[in-house]
Amino acid sequence: MNVVKNNQVVFDKAIDFLKQDISSLRTGRATPALVEDIVVEAYGGKQPLKAVASISVADAKTINVDPWDKGLSQAVESAIRNSDLGINPVNDGKLIRLPLPELNAERRQELIKVLHKKLEHARITLRKIREDVRTEIDKLEKAKEISEDEKFNEQDELEKLVKEYNDQVKEIGEEKEKEITTI
């Protein structure tokens, strides 16, 4: 019985979530990932922007948002304005243009702080997963489904796996920080 290998998918999901989460951090280039998860009040509920509009990149510094229902233009515009991105949308009645301002040194430092919080959250998630797997291993030993030696082998394997994933988190963070600080 290999408990650690069976739970590797959960670790992979944590890393995938981190990658998706930090993709919304602005690095000076326009990308739909910056705005696609902004929550918009639409049809009596909250929807992500990508569910109510098409998002495209016009050029390196401009994102275009085209609401499918033109009646939602005001809601989309205010949702973008109220987000913490610091983008001031320009609505021409048909299309909402999002000109991205230049990143100054102060804003870059703020983004790096946000990045570090997200990285720490990922590390905490990995620790929680590790504890869950340890608990599962202990239960299997108590139920006499695995021997004490197998338990220690599983725990050693688990520690190696957690170290690998923590190294991945560090690597992803360093790449993103370099991307943010590059002018």
Q: What is the DSSP string of 124-142?
A: HHHHHHHHHHHHHHHHHHH
CATH code for the domain in which residue 38 is found? 3.30.1360.40
Domain count for the chain, please give it.
2
Domain around 120: 3-22+104-181
Name the band, by pLDDT with cuts 50, 70 and 90, for residue 26.
low
66, 99, 132 — which closes off a domain?
Answer: 99
* Model pTM score: 0.70
Question: Does 36 lie in the same domain as 10?
Answer: no
Does 172 reside within a domain?
A: yes
Q: Residue 24 above 80 pLDDT?
A: no
Residues contacting 8, CB < 8 A, separation 6+: 161
Does 63 reside within a domain?
A: yes
Tens digit of each residue's pLDDT (9 = 90 or more) over 48-85: 888 888 888 888 788 898 988 888 888 888 888 887 67
Across the chain, what does the average pLDDT equal? 86
77, 99, 121 — which closes off a domain?
Answer: 99
Across 18-22, 103-107, 150-154, 166-170, least confident range: 103-107
Does 27 reside within a domain?
A: no
Question: Does 168 lie in the same domain as 111?
Answer: yes
Tokens encoding 92:
């021409």
Question: Does 134 lie in the same domain as 85?
Answer: no
Question: Does 38 lie in the same domain as 17?
Answer: no
Question: Does 47 lie in the same domain as 11?
Answer: no
Between the CA of residue 136 and those of 15, 81, 124, 155, what are the distances in Å?
21, 46, 19, 11
Instruction: Report d(CA 63, CA 89) in Å as an integer.
Output: 10
Smallest CA-to-CA distance from 96 within 115, 78, 120 is with 78
Tens digit of each residue's pLDDT (9 = 90 or more) over 149-175: 888 999 999 999 999 999 999 999 999
Question: How far is Cα of residue 160 from the mean position of the Cα atoms in its chain?
Answer: 24
CATH code for the domain in which residue 158 is found? 1.10.132.20
Question: Does 18 lie in the same domain as 108?
Answer: yes
Between the CA of residue 25 and those of 21, 28, 109, what are the distances in Å?
8, 9, 12
Question: Does 144 lie in the same domain as 87?
Answer: no
Instruction: Report d(CA 87, CA 156) in Å as an integer.
Output: 48
Instruction: Report d(CA 30, CA 42) in Å as an integer.
Output: 25
Question: Does 112 lie in the same domain as 45?
Answer: no
